[in-house]
Structure 1
């Protein structure tokens, strides 16, 4: 019996993201000063954050993130306002210029979305945290 057949993880209480940080103090400052997030809990070598009903953790790591793909994202109601405010706080957004995916003022219009989300597309923006982790912001287009 494989995990898919048995639904081992389908009944899990939640799923969470873990992001590496070579310098946990520097990461804590970035998440606080740039993103306005404070940890809800901490342990030696780790910081736990909550946003809505999800959580993510930063953990002390000697390894570095490649930052070549989105590792975590937030869904927001007004991506233009969020991108504008984060930019004001010093967050630098990625410029993307690929066939079918191009950012304009830091935001890309993405055709298609998961049918279960009830949207026809999404608007997205990406940036790296102080540790090189690629983070995304998305807003469904209905």
Structure 2
């Protein structure tokens, strides 16, 4: 049933005036619409809905991620736009902050609300 439906990605913000420029200018996403409830950005084959909420405590785990072809290039581009990548004591990460697992190479960063976001260069399938 839902295996053929398109997923909608969701994250929260308490300050749309900071979230919109981060996702639009820093990450390069196209804003489709904004109202008092959310800011909606175009993604490949779906959308990212940044929900405006009055209170929010970010999760300690990844809220949203992107599958990328060349993680080093993406990290370098985001670094040039002021994005800082997160380092975790429990993972062995390289100089760019990439954790190399058997199935993927992963790096994490946070949005202005503290949502943990990731880049993944996968080693399995297309």
Same fold by TM-score greater than 0.5? yes
Q: Displacement of 1:57 after TM fit?
A: 0.5
Unaligned runs of 5+ in 1: 1-6, 112-120
Q: Is the 8 A contact 2:58 2:113 kept in 1?
A: no
Q: Displacement of 1:47 after TM fit?
A: 1.0
Number of aligned pairs?
123
Distance in 2 of aligned mates of 1:17 and 1:102: 29
Asked if residue 103 in structure 1 is aligned to residue 83 in structure 2, the reply is no
Distance in 1 of aligned mates of 2:55 and 2:69: 34
What is the TM-score of this pair, normalised by structure 2? 0.88
Aligned-pair Cα RMSD in Å: 1.5
Question: Which entry has the higher C-alpha Rg, 1 or 2?
Answer: 1
Corresponding residue for 1:128? 110
Corresponding residue for 1:28? 20
Q: Displacement of 1:67 after TM fit?
A: 3.5
Q: 1:43 to 1:34 in 2, by over 3 A?
A: same
Q: Displacement of 1:72 after TM fit?
A: 0.5
Corresponding residue for 1:141? 123
Distance in 2 of aligned mates of 1:31 and 1:65: 19
